[in-house]
Amino acid sequence: MGKNIVQKIFAAHHVNGDLVAGNHIALKVDQVYTQDATGTMTWLEFEAIGIDRVRVPLAVSYVDHSMLQANFMSADDHLFLQTAARKFGAYFSKPGNGICHQVHLERFAAPGKIALGTDSHTPTGGGMGMIAIGVGGLEAATVMAGAPLEITMPKVMKVRLTGKLQKPYVTAMDVILTLLRKLTVKGGVGRIIEYGGPGVKNLTVTERATITNMGAELGATTSVFPSDGITLAYLTAQGREADWVEMKADTDAAYEEVIDLDLGTVEPMVAQPHSPDNVVPLREIAGKRVNQVCIGSCTNSSYPAMKTVAAILKGRTVAAWVSLLINPGSKQVYEMLAREGLTAEMISSGARVLESSCGPCIGMGGAPGSGQVSVRSYNRNFQGRSGTKDAFVYLASPVSCAVMALKGEIIDPRDAGISLKRITEPKTFRINDNLLIPPIADSRGVEVVKGPNIKDVPVKEPLRNEIEAEVLLKTGDNITTDDIMPAGSKVLPFRSNIPAISEFVFENIDKTFTRRAQEAKVRGGGIIIGGENYGQGSSREHAAIAPMYLGLQAVIVKSFARIHRANLINFGILPLVFTSGADYGRVEQGDRLALRNVVVAVREGRNLTVENLTKGYTFEVAVTLNDRERELIVKGGLLPYTKNS
Ligand code: MIC
Ligand code: SF4
């Protein structure tokens, strides 16, 4: 039997476990990268593990999220990250060098490799024919300390592409929006999506990367494209042809699932508020007035995408009532645009050109006005993420966005009477790595500098055998980590300070959460009840650490999103699943629940009986942990586990 790309890459990195879906497997990792918002915790955790130098071939610490710098805190974080990178043997990508995923694709991603990143959009690298997976910070820290990556082998779903996009009006963004419409934000859970078929050759590397980037919104572990002549051409243009290897599935490779998509049938699409899978063709909602347009982010800020935007804006003016913000994805893209006079075209049209950072995508500036409509070429439109709770955020391609900025309303770019030129990848990129500081060989004597806002990582006590705790909150389906631990300009600067950031847990859902959790902590702690796909979205482990700091003991849900589940376990919080969905309906906020003989049940992998002390009945929950997770949770999480083993 032939092998698919996932099986080939996994086999080449195999440490243990049969590579069969559902099995616990361990893999060797080639590259690990962090970004500043999750990176400070990661490097503090790495330091706490007590290893003096990273034990992976490549580690990179990026700064791209927390760049508003309204006070000292973010700049202190940046200096901490720079000195930690120097001390522990990582590259440091200075603020201004760009968004981690775009820069990594340009400068480090390589076919056939395995990369981890402390950010959910790490799968961007899949466009290069590599396995790139988003993980929590502690997972990344232990891998940098020499441990393998331990995961449950996902199913491999093949998306067989045929045909050609109607370029330039239809883009890769429309492809992934089409798949989100079909598969939803849960459709990729437990799966790796492998693209194949004759349509692959009609997509460039950066188009492939847009698709794999936003595969995160499907809930997929990652997505991967083959590495072919197009990949070689891109790497050559980046001066990295030596990094190329061919990666392709054998003709008789098997897949757990296969779906087909004819690129020729894809139309300009839009995700409506407040979920990336609430997708319809743009034409269906044409005519709605638009107040703000944002173009860029790690999803859509490659050079060809930005050049297309500049060509649309050239000689035209942004609608009077629209504010257009553009954040180019990397210094390389930005510098090339500037040297070709293309930023001048953007500025001339009325665009507000921002620095190369995440910016409005994570609510770091650019918040829309109250009740306003913002259309973005970004990947997430969860309620409140923009910084304005009652804003309406739509997601569309950079081409559609640029056209809408000019027209001031939602419109299919094919209907706008604007004729577009097709823009291709350049033969050579401008290579100037002067904001990428390489590691040094001898780092003895390097001091890691920690500003006053940088506090130690809190660690949980070992698992309690008897848990009696209060239901602090009951949520619906698809709760995001943005709901649990908001980001944005007010909260992001506290990412290195868990006591301070814990004041904001569930802020946008229930302002009393933190106070109630603190009160419940002295009476035995708290429990959260959730629906399906609990914890979807970002990789931020703060969504586990801060609730843990507030005394959270367990989360009981219908199902979990992958990274958040791992983060809960890594910080010693029990991830429990209702064995019968009907029990979700009976339990209410404020109920006191008791779990007895917890350690024994966890060790033996038995279901737990939960007693609802307030209402006087019992129900069952499943403890679906693998052997390592069991040991780890009993010890209080991955940090105590790693230090003691
Ligand atoms: C996001 O897009 O939500 C973020 C901000 O990049 C997060 C990481 C974080 O919260 O720092 C992600 O995607 O993992
Ligand atoms: Fe940054 Fe947005 Fe990409 Fe997250 S999704 S890495 S916030 S640009």
- Is 430 a domain residue? no
Instruction: For residue 408, give both structure tokens.
Output: 């001031």
| Any ligand 2 atom below 6 A from CB of 361 | yes
**341 and 483 fall within a common domain:** no
Taking the CA of residue 297 as reference, the ligand 2 atom at the shortest distance is 8
**257 and 351 fall within a common domain:** no
Give the domain range for residue 544.
467-643
Query: How high is the pLDDT of residue 613?
Result: 98
Query: How high is the pLDDT of residue 421?
Result: 87
**180 and 304 fall within a common domain:** no
- How are the residues of the chain apportioned to helix, strand and coil, as percentages rounded to the nearest 5? 35, 20, 45
Which element (helix H / strand E) includes 393? Answer: strand 392-395
**219 and 284 fall within a common domain:** no
Q: Count CB-CB contacts under 10 A for residue 469.
A: 23
**151 and 136 fall within a common domain:** yes
Using CB distances shorter than 6 Å, the residues near ligand 1 are 37-38, 65, 119-121, 134, 362, 487, 537-540
| Any ligand 2 atom below 6 A from CB of 469 | no
Domain count across the chain = 3
Taking the CA of residue 100 as reference, the ligand 2 atom at the shortest distance is 6
- Is 448 a domain residue? no
- CATH number of the CATH domain containing 595: 3.20.19.10
| Any ligand 2 atom below 6 A from CB of 358 | yes
Give the residue from 537, 490, 540, 494 showing the smallest Cα distance to 364: 490
- CATH number of the CATH domain containing 377: 3.30.499.10
Domain boundary residue among 265, 286, 309? 265
Taking the CA of residue 119 as reference, the ligand 2 atom at the shortest distance is 6
- Is 435 a domain residue? no
Q: Whose CA is nearest to atom 7 of ligand 1?
A: 538
- Centroid of ligand 2 to alpha carbon of 524 (angstroms): 37
**227 and 294 fall within a common domain:** no
Domain boundary residue among 348, 383, 415? 415
| CB neighbour class for 433 (10 Å; exposed up to 12, middle 13-18, buried from 19) | middle
**405 and 505 fall within a common domain:** no
| Any ligand 2 atom below 6 A from CB of 170 | no
The residues facing 560 across adjacent strands are 534
**243 and 293 fall within a common domain:** no
- Centroid of ligand 1 to alpha carbon of 602 (angstroms): 31
- Is 274 a domain residue? yes
Taking the CA of residue 542 as reference, the ligand 1 atom at the shortest distance is 10
**255 and 274 fall within a common domain:** no
Ligand found nearest the CA of 216: 1
**582 and 639 fall within a common domain:** yes
Domain boundary residue among 265, 289, 311? 265
- Centroid of ligand 1 to alpha carbon of 150 (angstroms): 22
Ligand found nearest the CA of 361: 2
Say if residues 281 and 269 touch (Cβ distance below 8 Å): yes
Query: How high is the pLDDT of residue 422?
Result: 87
pTM listed for this prediction: 0.98
| Any ligand 2 atom below 6 A from CB of 540 | no
- Is 341 a domain residue? yes
Give the residue from 595, 591, 545 showing the smallest Cα distance to 572: 545
Running along the chain, 645 residues long, what does each successive block of 10 average in pLDDT?
Answer: 97 97 98 98 97 98 97 98 98 98 98 99 99 98 98 98 97 98 97 98 98 98 99 98 98 98 98 98 98 98 96 98 98 98 98 98 98 98 97 98 98 96 94 98 97 97 97 98 98 98 97 98 98 98 98 98 98 98 97 97 96 98 95 96 81
Whole-angstrom Cα distance, residue 42 to residue 38?
6
**113 and 194 fall within a common domain:** yes
**574 and 509 fall within a common domain:** yes
- Centroid of ligand 1 to alpha carbon of 482 (angstroms): 9
- Centroid of ligand 1 to alpha carbon of 315 (angstroms): 36
Query: How high is the pLDDT of residue 644?
Result: 72
Taking the CA of residue 492 as reference, the ligand 1 atom at the shortest distance is 11
- Is 142 a domain residue? yes
At 560, phi and psi to the nearest 5?
A: -110, 155
| Any ligand 2 atom below 6 A from CB of 362 | yes
